[in-house]
Structure 1
């Protein structure tokens, strides 16, 4: 009997010696965490990781602790370690640990943005995006807020991250294209608006922005067919005809441009900007009678704008030069006098 008891005791002792003893620091850290003693918990978990650096559960608790301490960078690092060591099961645990604080930060960011407190909005939304970089909405919202602050480089980076997560989200792509446009990154904006049109062929706002990018980057051959699509989509849009007309001017297609601007005048007779542009085209095309008639209408509608009188002077001068070349010097001199009179009025109107 004595031998049997001794044998059992020996087996028990061997079994106990083969077990991994509990990590006292980890146990103590969890107690401190539960009691909201986060600084102490952090220290305990740090010591626990010295003993068990490959334990994903300790990294998970370290991340939860750092969230409570508002160290979101450290928390994200701890969570990434937990996922790397623990695999898919810990990805779910991290999501559960992160979600409440993420939602809180995101809501705070939206509230600040709605109140136009953009500094605080960026701060909250940046923390949300850092805490869970796999979530689309914080990157999108952050990019929009940064764009409102004219921080186009940061906004572009945030929106590109959002587009990586949801590559076919039209709103994100449109925001990204607008940011690139405002940052004068026209080639990037062109690619972005083209992608929107691949997803949604014929979308008018994307076509309009694409055309502007081509125009500002002086890619006139690419721009003109886009404006044609815009006019086909909305033939009653005076803006579309005006922009198309300007595009044709830039491409040196003066007669076609004049036709478009005449259409603008038909659609919106009070559009004086289009009228003045049209008169300049008439001058360039040596269509003097049309230019003079149009300018008479313009100076009657906008009598205090010196631009109309200046343009009159240019027309009269161009006519005088043409007549002088033909030998009609008397008529040329009469027109030069009229040009001088128009310039005098322009100077008076401009305060000069």
Structure 2
């Protein structure tokens, strides 16, 4: 008899919980507020709270691709990449043209050095006429083509990026690196200067400008640029480590 009562209590508890969830889900304004709160928590780097809130939204909106996109972003920030990928894939299964999800999935593959997979997703994002951040996807495509030695494709992609957003400093910086590979050093210098005019704290542009000054035999300005790159870069990043080496090679004063 006691076991039966315990089971009945459990059933009633589950039923009440399910009823409560259903009632909450009927309040669309409340669910939207929870979603907005989750995104705000994410932007504040409160990833645990963001996850809890977005999972609550998922209970009510299991067919909303935006929910899975944000879960993917949250899990990625928590360094749970497989869960991030699973949720992004779910977002894209619900909306294959979802530009933000395509771009983020492409960036994950880019980070892993899986360029062919990255290109597929980034192209979908870049060619979406409704995507306001398509210039980012074009820039990422250009960077991949640059790594692959496809300089014409890279230049075309950077041109598309800058046509959409002439003030995107990363595209100017990457275009400068491409021009340097083409031995068009004057154009490379101009691109680095433009990048730094727009983003004075961009370490990559400072490092590449330092390399250009080194090529010209201008030690003092090269030292200055490598010092600035080291100032703004993460110490264990390519820009940070490379700048530190050049500061030693050129016997620059330590910043």
**1:259 is the counterpart of 2:165:** no
Q: CA deviation at 1:279?
A: 3.0
- Which of the numbers 201, 219, 225 marks the counterpart of 1:295? 219
Partner in structure 2 of residue 310 of structure 1? 249
Cα deviations by residue, 1:157-192 (Å, 9 ceiling, x for unpaired): 212211221223333333333444445443332211
Report the alpha carbon displacement of residue 100 of structure 1 after superposing the two structures with TM: 3.5
Q: Which residue of 2 aligns with 1:28?
A: none
Match of 1:242 among 173, 190, 194: 173
Match of 2:15 in 1: 65
Aligned partners of 1:296, 1:40: CA distance in 2, in Å?
A: 77
Superposition map of 1:68-147 within 5 A: 68=18, 99-100=25-26, 108=34, 110-111=36-37, 114-115=40-41, 116-126=45-55, 128-129=57-58, 133-147=62-76
Q: Are 2:180 and 1:220 equivalent residues in the alignment?
A: no
User: Matches of residues 18-29 of structure 1 in structure 2 within 5 Å?
Assistant: none
Q: Gaps spanning 5+ residues in structure 2: where? A: 1-7, 229-243
User: Deviation of residue 260 (structure 1)?
Assistant: 2.1
Q: Report what 2:4 is aligned to.
A: none
Where does residue 165 of structure 1 map in the other structure?
A: 94
Partner SS for 2:127: helix
Q: Does 1:194 align with 2:123?
A: yes
Q: Contact 1:152 / 1:180 at 8 angstroms: preserved in 2?
A: no
- Paired residues of 1:136 and 1:166 also in contact (CA < 8 A): yes
CA distance in 2, matches of 1:303, 1:124: 43
Contact 2:51 2:71 in 1 (8 A): yes
Report SS of the residue matched to 1:276: helix
What's the TM-score, normalizing by structure 1?
A: 0.48
When the two structures are superposed, what TM-score results if normalisation uses the length of structure 2? 0.62
Cross-structure match for 1:32: none
Task: Quote how far apart the aligned CAs of 1:195 are.
Answer: 0.6
Is contact 1:118–1:149 with CA below 8 Å preserved after alignment? yes
Tell me the matched-pair count: 221
Structure 1 residue 301: deviation in Å? 7.5
Q: Work out which of the two has the higher radius of gyration on C-alpha atoms and give 1 or 2.
A: 1
Question: Are 2:207 and 1:276 aligned?
Answer: no
Structure of greater relative contact order (alpha carbons < 8 Å, 6+ residues apart): 2
C-alpha distance in 1, partners of 2:224/2:51? 51
Quick one: distance in 2 between partners of 1:206 and 1:303? 30
Aligned to 1:39: 10
TM-aligned CA distance change 1:264 to 1:152, over 3 Å: same
Alignment RMSD (CA, Å): 4.4
1:209 alignment partner, one of 136, 140, 149: 140
Unaligned runs of 5+ in 1: 1-36, 43-63, 73-95, 284-290, 312-344
Name the SS of the counterpart of 2:126 in structure 1.
helix
